[in-house]
Structure formats: structure tokens, C-alpha cells
Amino acid sequence: MTEISKINHKIIETLRSSAYMSDAEVVECLSFFELRSYHKKDFFLREGEVCRLRGYVNKGCFRRYITNTHGKEVILHFALEDWWIGDLESMINKQPSVFNIQALEDSEVFCISEDEHERLCSAMPKYFSLHEEKARRSHFASLKRLALAQAGTPEDKFLQLMKQQPQLFQRVPMHYIASYLGIEPESLSRLRKRLSEKEKKS
Amino acid sequence: MTEISKINHKIIETLRSSAYMSDAEVVECLSFFELRSYHKKDFFLREGEVCRLRGYVNKGCFRRYITNTHGKEVILHFALEDWWIGDLESMINKQPSVFNIQALEDSEVFCISEDEHERLCSAMPKYFSLHEEKARRSHFASLKRLALAQAGTPEDKFLQLMKQQPQLFQRVPMHYIASYLGIEPESLSRLRKRLSEKEKKS
């Protein structure tokens, strides 16, 4: 029991604070997962593959992107620590994914297959509840992101990203942020300059 | 029992075919709902209100839209028959919604409050499963819609809409379709002309 409290894993923090697990329960829960390392630029999932794993980002950062009809990469999300990655639809329906999930830093991911996930949900109601809550919040977030993608200006999107994932700006190259905002890197520079001048004035 | 089989409600068809309910179960399930009528232009939900009901569109058509930072209405979805409407996040967290849901035709909606929905989920496992499956599919759909909103051209979005909700083009004014696609009505006319010429040539 003393061992686990010494390990500095984000997932342990989450299982304790959000799922209210005891140390013994954390140990049991983690026994269902496999910890995998991804080097910067490695893929967790590639377009055309069937997704086999759910992943919990314990350390690092990933981008989820698709290739549009003009062959251009467009970033949909950045997944930092405490995010789940994967493509549930591909996994459940056993169909090729349209998404790419790539590490932007050397990263550590706690991975679990769909079968093990189901077993874990049955074995540990606390994990099941955590998962349900995460799924619900992820659904709400995707609806809001859709509203922003559909109706927001690049400035709205930039300000929202600054609010929700401020650490991204220190960790991710600016051309990725531009891709997420749907603008060219030069437009992002101008946007940042404009906003910082606005801030100085106010 | 004979009564119910004579009623031509979309919801009955769904409860029978997707939730495998018997006539008696359909009757029990529907007793939790209230059937409400909405005239064209009536609101099911307005921005700033806390959403109190989940709604099943039995007949008619709604648009879900938000007002962006420039005061412009942007349509996120059209909900036709067999769609669920409402704002789950607003309902569960009891917070004002950012969405508007407005009838585009005279419509009929089977409505259920969150408390009744919970009671029904406990009372009827078949309804609970149907609901879980719907929630999952809706989540998958919103992720795909996000990818399309973020990475698709207006032409991609138009073709996708034609594939998924072809009946919309007969039922909804073109300026609403343009708003959904994020383009001006004039650009939509040009797009349709271009696509129909392409089709003639091929």
C-alpha cells in the first residue's frame, strides 16, 4: 500500500479524487491497464486502422486530427494529461477510424482494451461511474466545441483555448494551434499581436 | 392493446423496433411522457433558459442554433422525426442554456422531465438500453459533425447533409440550410448549381 502512494501518476490522483478509490482499489484498477510509452511523433492511432485501445494520458500531449478532402491536416483536439484518447466508434463497431492520434511530446499512456474495460466496469462500480461521468462530460464538451467550430470566429476559438488549455501555448508549436483554429500561422501571429495590444490598452 | 397498434406515432415504431417493447410495454413507457404541440416558430428551448425537458420529435422539424459573438444566428443541427431534442447539460447542471431550439414546422414532441426520465430508466430496462444506445450514437455523431465543421468545405457539408437528411431540402427554407453550412444563401445557390452541372456531366 505504501508503494502506490509514492508513485506520481496522474491516473492515481484521478482514481483517488474523482472515483474515491482506496489505495487497494487503485491497485486493483490499474492491474487492468498497461502503461505504454510513446515517443514524440509516434501514433496512438492512424486513420484507416481499427482502434483497439482506450488510453488515459498520464504524461505528455497528443493531437487528434483528420485529413480533409483537400489532403490538409486539421486538428480537432489536443489531449493533455488526464484526457482519454482513442476512437470509441471505431473500437465498438470494429470499423476503420477516420482519426489520427499522434504524440506531440514523449508521452505515457495507460491503455486498456475494450474487453478489459468492460470487465473492469463490471468488477468496479467506482470505475464505471467515473467512466460514465467522463463520457457525459466529453459529450457535452463536443457539443460546445461544435458550436464554437461552427459559429465562433478564430478570436473566439483562441480565447477559449487560452482559457481551457493555457499550458498548450508553452508546449505546442504555433502552427498546430493555427491548424486547430482553422487559420494560417501568419493570421495567428497577427491575432496574438492584436489581442496583446488590446490587453495593454485596457 | 388494440388501440395502440392503431395510433400512428413514430415513437411507437421506435419503441417496438429499436427497444423491442411489447404493446403493453409501449403503453407503460408512453405513460411517462406528455405529448406537446409546437406551432411553426415556437421555441422548445430559448437561450438563457434552464432546459426542463427531453423531447422526442414525433412529427415536424426543429432547428438548434446559437447566436455568435457578432449577433448572428448559426444553425448547428436540424432535428426531424425520431430525433431527441433538449440540452442535457443545461438540464443536469441546472444552468442556462446557450442553445435555441425552434420549430420550423407545426410539430409534435413527446416530452419527459429529467426526474421522470430517471424513473422510467429504473422501471424499464429496455428504455434504459435504448437511451444508452441513443446517447452513444449521438456522441459519435457530434464528433463526426465536429470534424466536418472544422475540416470540411461547404461542399463536403452540403453533400453530407444530402446523404443524411435529404428530406430537409424539401422541408426547410434554403437560408436555413445556408446558415447550417456556414455560407451565404447566394453561395449556396452557386454551390447547388455547380453540383447539379457536375452531375449532368458525369
Q: How many residues does chain B have?
A: 202
The mean pLDDT value for B173-194 works out to: 90
For residue A181, name the pLDDT band (cuts at 50, 70, 90): confident
- Of the candidates A196, A101, A147, A40, the one whose C-alpha atom is nearest the C-alpha of residue B87 is A147
Number of Cβ pairs < 8 A linking chain A and chain B: 76
pLDDT at B7 over 70: no
pLDDT attached to residue A145:
87
Backbone angles phi, psi at B48, to 5 degrees: 95, -20
Burial grade of A160 (CB within 10 A; 0-12, 13-18, 19 or more): middle
User: Which residues, 6+ apart, have CB-to-CB distance to A58 below 8 Å?
Assistant: A9, A10, A11, A35, A81, A108, A109, A110
Query: Which CATH number applies to B4-125: 3.30.360.10, 2.60.120.10, 3.30.110.30, 2.30.30.20?
Result: 2.60.120.10
B139 and A140 within 8 Å at the Cβ level: the answer is no
Taking 90 as the threshold, does the pLDDT of residue A51 lie above it?
A: yes
Q: What does the mean pLDDT of chain B come to?
A: 91
Count CB neighbours of A189 within 10 A. 12
Query: What pLDDT score was predicted for residue B168?
Result: 92
Task: For residues A167 and A82, give the distance between their C-alpha atoms in angstroms, rounded to a whole number.
Answer: 13
B34 min Cα distance to partner chain A (Å) = 26
Q: Which residue of A has its CA nearest to B153?
A: A69
Could you write out the three-class secondary structure of chain B? CHHHHHCCCHHHHHHHHCCCCCHHHHHHHHCCCEEEEECCCCEEECCCCECCEEEEEEECCEEEEEECCCCCEEEEEEECCCCEECCHHHHHHCCECCCEEEECCCEEEEEEEHHHHHHHHHHCHHHHHHHHHHHHHHHHHHHHHHHHHHHCCHHHHHHHHHHHCCCHHHHCCHHHHHHHHCCCHHHHHHHHHHHHHHHHHC
Residue to test with chain B: of A84, A150, A158, most B Cβ within 10 A: A150
Which cell numbers in the block locate residue B52?
A: 426542463
Residue in chain A closest to B92 (alpha carbons) equals: A136
Residue B22, CA distances (Å) to B7, B14, B125 in order: 15, 12, 13
End-to-end CA distance of chain B: 53
Q: Quote the Cα angle for A67-A102-A53, to 5°.
A: 105
Which cell goes with B183? Answer: 455560407
Instruction: Residue A179: list chain B partners with CB under 8 A.
Output: none
Interface check for B152 against chain A (CB to CB < 8 A): the answer is yes
Question: How many Cβ atoms from other residues are within 10 Å of residue A50's Cβ?
Answer: 13
- Judge contact between B45 and B111, C-beta under 8 A: no
- Tell me: the pLDDT tens digits for A116-174? 999 999 999 999 999 999 988 888 888 888 888 888 888 899 999 999 999 999 999 99
Residues from chain A contacting residue B139 (CB–CB below 8 Å): 88, 135, 138-139, 142
Contact between chains at A98 and B147 (C-beta distance less than 8 A): yes
Q: Tell me what pLDDT residue A1 has.
A: 44
Distance CA A31, CA A35 (A): 10
Q: What is the predicted pLDDT for the residue at A3?
A: 57
Whether B41 and chain A come into contact, CB under 8 Å, resolves to no
- Per-residue pLDDT reduced to its tens digit, B53-110: 999 999 999 999 999 888 888 899 999 999 999 999 999 999 999 999 999 999 999 9
Q: ipTM of this complex > 0.90?
A: no
The C-alpha atoms of residue B78 and residue B181 are separated, in whole angstroms, by 12
Chain B residues in contact with A151 by the CB 8 A cut-off are: 66, 68, 72, 74, 76
DSSP lists the bridge partners of residue B101 as: B45, B64
- Chain A residues with CB under 8 Å of B72 CB are 151
What is the tens place of the pLDDT at every residue in B97-138?
A: 999 999 999 999 999 999 999 999 999 999 999 999 998 888
pLDDT at B2: 44
Residue A4: what pLDDT? Answer: 59
Residue ranges of domains in chain B: 4-125
A88 in contact with B, Cβ within 8 Å: yes
| Chain centroid, CA B144 distance in Å | 16
Predicted confidence (pLDDT) per residue in A68-105, tens digit: 888 888 899 999 999 999 999 999 999 999 999 999 99
A142 with B142: Cβ contact below 8 A: yes
User: For residue B140, which residues of chain A lie inside 8 Å, CB to CB?
Assistant: 88-89
